[in-house]
Amino acid sequence: MPQRHSILAKLAGRTGRRLVVLGPLLWLAVFFMLPLLETLQVSFSVAQRSIPPYAPLWGFDEGGFFTNFTLDNYGLLARYWQDYIGPAFNSIRLAFFSTLVCLLFAYPMAWWIARSTPKWRVFLLVMVMLPFWTSSLLRIYALIGLLNPNGFINGMLMWLGVIEAPIRMMQTDFSIYMGMVLTYLPLMILPLYAVMVRLDDDVIEAATDLGASGVQIFWTVIFPLTLPGVIAGCLLVFIPAVGEFVIPALLGGPDQLMMGKVLWTEFFRNRDWPVAAAIAMLLLAILTVPIIYARYQDGRVDDKHEKETGAR
Amino acid sequence: MKPTIKYAAIAILASNIAYAEGQLNIYNWSDYIAEDTIANFEAETGISVTYDVYDSNEVLEAKMMAGSSGYDLVVPTGDFLARGREAGVYADIDLARLANIGNQDRQVQGLADAQLEARNAGVVYMWGTTGIAYNVDMVRERLGDNAPTDSWDLILDPANAAKLADCGIAILDAPTDVLPNVVAYQGGAGDTTDPKLFEKAGEVLNAVRPHLRYIHSSQSINDIANGDICAAIMWSGDAFQAAYRAEEANNGHVIDYSIPSEGTNLWFDLMAIPADAKNVDNAYKFIDYMMRADVAANNVNYVWYASGNQAAKASIDPEILEHPGIYPTEESQKKLFVVPVYDARLDRVVNRVWSRFSSGG
């Protein structure tokens, strides 16, 4: 009875898989869902000067069960939307272009690493990951030392006689993007590498044999096959980049107010945790739409793949 | 490896001995105490001190507001202490338990008490002003010998700011230390709580914004010392730290600090005890120790801020005592004001004005 056997095996496989998934699920519930729900709750609370600095949303007192629910925090954001839409746009633009530049640099680098001999591969991967071993803050300060008007690069260029007066690099878009790309590049390289290293050389060979040009091979064979890595890398870079606070604060000038700073101001300066929470929730909602869309696309590719190969 | 283990063991043993007299957890500003003060206190009392530092009132406040910070002694600035007291974060100080309370500068402590509307909120540790730090030569090169270095005009007049833009201007990222001064610059009272005056002050700042290099609270210390910027609205002690660094580096940059003639805000950092402190007795011992004339003088000679301690003046370096930027002259004292504690609504107005200024909106 081979039929029945395979059903049993399938069932056992499914239970096993569920058990394996349970760990990460628990982790997500405790460290992601609970804080998220807490933030959601704070966003509907009334701010007051106490520990913590907002009134409880619900509870029991002498009068019995009470609730203290307000939509005012979201109302304030709606009323003063001009103050928030600009920084939101700045942050998304910064994240978008940082992701784009990271992708343009990371793609050939990841390809080169994936095509190296296994020995070199390890060395190059370590080189990519090495910066993670020092504090990102230290690296930003090192960058400041390089880019300052009296810093290393200007000093070098002036000593060589290439320029006469220092070039202004700090507090410009250039310094912000330098910081962003330096910090986030490894997050783009690693998922790309993971996909590329598994890429079957035979596929490329077959395309060449069938007379495809280099450009054709790239766009019709290599790029579609590495797309999951591209999507994963873009998400890994884009999401933290939107909330980036430190890099624009240290490397940027006064003209670019980012969402991270707006959140900081609400939290620390206005001491209005509820409004800060409301901004965080809205930002999350805006960001999850493209992510869910990307996941949905990803899922469809997987499903198709499953159907075509008939096994999983 | 072995010696390290041995030293670690000694350290653990030593800390166990110190535990006998108990513990004290202090949270203070970075670079805000003489290098040997804590060690001397430990040696004298046998109390084991854990000393942590912060670099902004906001960080301290958020930690205290979240509750159960674990600290026994913190040093907030006056308005932050007042807000914390409103929220029930801080305990009252029992002045009778402080033998050295008589050493305090009565005038300074009185001003702080008035701001806090309480006589037992905290003991003034240091106080200072917000003013203008500038690179003497770079400013003279661009604005001549009569550069208005003793006026907010140097930075807040767009004509001057435009001339200094190429060597770099920075402004503190601290709305409550800048906006009241802009109000004073326009002839208003710096201790105002009128939202309209702050809106107007925002317009003055917006006019010089195109000429600013950045708005940041701590970056300017290094930058002005290195000659990367040439003028900045700064806290007094930070400016002297920059001047000292430039002198140490011997890089040819001379940094000076002035209290603008239109007046500026006076602020106080006070030693205070959190309501949930566990080692209250030791916190009192520490405050009393810090108020001893020799200890207070030693701290001032290191951090270059004015002390809340009158008795210490006898042992303070004359260079500090006679500097009008640290201990203001009687003439400029008349123009100093204390910013009152804003309510939540005014906070929001002030911060909105500030956000629009810093984002150019």
Instruction: Please tell me the predicted confidence (pLDDT) of residue B1.
Output: 38
| Tens-place pLDDT, residues A193-228 | 999 999 988 998 999 999 888 899 999 999 999 999
CA angle B216, B296, B236 (to 5 degrees): 25
The closest CB to that of B58, out of A53, A257, A268, belongs to A268
Q: Which helix (H) or strand (E) holds A136?
A: helix A136-147
- At residue A4, the pLDDT reads 54
Instruction: Please say whether the beta carbons of A71 and A44 come within 8 A.
Output: yes
Higher-confidence residue: A103 or A291?
A103
With beta carbons under 8 A apart, name residues in chain B contacting A150: 226-228
Residues of B with CB under 8 A from a CB of A: 56, 58-59, 61-62, 64-67, 83, 86-89, 175, 209, 212-216, 219, 223, 226-228, 344, 347-348, 351-352, 354-356, 358-361
Residue B221 to residue B242: CA distance in whole angstroms: 5
Of the candidates A171, A257, A267, the beta carbon closest to that of B214 is on: A171
Q: How far apart are CA A192 and CA A188, in angstroms?
A: 7
Residue B41: closest CA among B21, B16, B55: B21
CB pairs A-B closer than 8 Å:
84
> pTM, whole model, 2 decimals?
0.80
Give the separation between CA B279 and CA B266, rounded to whole angstroms: 31
CA distance B114 to B101: 17
What is the CATH number that goes with domain B129-265+337-359? 3.40.190.10
Q: Domain residue spans in chain B?
A: 2-121+267-328, 129-265+337-359
Phi-psi category of B34—alpha, beta or left, where left has phi over 0 and alpha has psi -120 to 50?
beta
Residue type, A232: A
The CATH-assigned architecture of domain B2-121+267-328 is 3-Layer(aba) Sandwich (3.40)
> How far is residue A114's CA from residue A199's CA, in Å, rounded to a whole number?
9
Asked whether A30 and A42 are in contact (CB, 8 A), the reply is no
Q: Establish whether the linkage from the previous residue to B158 is cis, with ω within 30° of 0.
A: no
Dihedrals phi, psi of B171, to nearest 5 degrees: -125, 140
Decide if A252 and B214 are in contact by the 8 Å CB cutoff.
Answer: yes
CB contact under 8 A, B65 and A271: yes
Cβ contact B40:B285 at 8 Å: no
Can you give the pLDDT of all 361 residues of chain B as single tens digits?
344 445 555 444 444 444 457 999 999 998 899 999 999 999 999 999 999 999 889 899 989 988 889 999 999 999 999 999 999 999 999 999 999 999 999 999 999 999 999 999 999 999 999 999 999 999 999 999 999 999 999 999 999 999 999 999 999 988 999 999 999 999 999 999 999 999 999 999 999 999 999 898 888 999 999 999 999 999 998 899 899 999 999 999 999 999 999 999 999 999 999 999 999 999 999 999 999 999 999 999 998 999 999 999 999 999 999 998 899 988 888 899 999 999 888 999 999 999 889 877 5
The CA distance from B126 to A54, in Å, is 32
- CA B132-B196-A253 angle, to 5 degrees, is 45
Rg (CA), chain B: 21
pLDDT digits (tens, 9 = 90+) for A16-59: 777 778 888 899 888 989 999 999 999 999 988 888 889 888 88
What is the pLDDT, as a whole number, of residue A306? 57
Q: Where are the domains of chain A?
A: 80-271
Written as six digits, the tokens of A123 are: 């060395």
The answer to whether residues B265 and B236 touch, using CB atoms and an 8 Å cutoff, is no
Q: A255: which chain B residues are within 8 Å (Cβ-Cβ)?
A: 359-360
Which residue in the set B348, B351, B359 is minimally distant from A257, CB to CB? B359
Q: What are phi and psi of B258, to 5 degrees?
A: -135, 150
Report CB contact under 8 Å: B83, A250. no
The runs of H, that is alpha helices, within chain B are 2-19, 37-45, 57-66, 78-86, 106-116, 136-143, 153-156, 158-164, 175-185, 195-208, 219-226, 236-249, 280-290, 293-303, 318-321, 330-333, 344-359
Q: Are A97 and A182 in contact (CB under 8 A)?
A: no
What pLDDT is recorded for position B64? 93
Q: Which CATH number fits domain A80-271: 3.40.50.1980, 3.20.20.70, 1.10.3720.10, 3.40.50.1000?
A: 1.10.3720.10
Do domains B2-121+267-328 and B129-265+337-359 share one topology? The answer is yes
Return d(Cα A30, Cα B121) in angstroms, integer. 40
First to last CA, chain B: 58
Span of A11-15, A170-174, A276-280 with lowest mean pLDDT: A11-15
Give CA B302 to chain center in angstroms.
14
Q: How far apart are CA A239 and CA A244, in angstroms?
A: 9
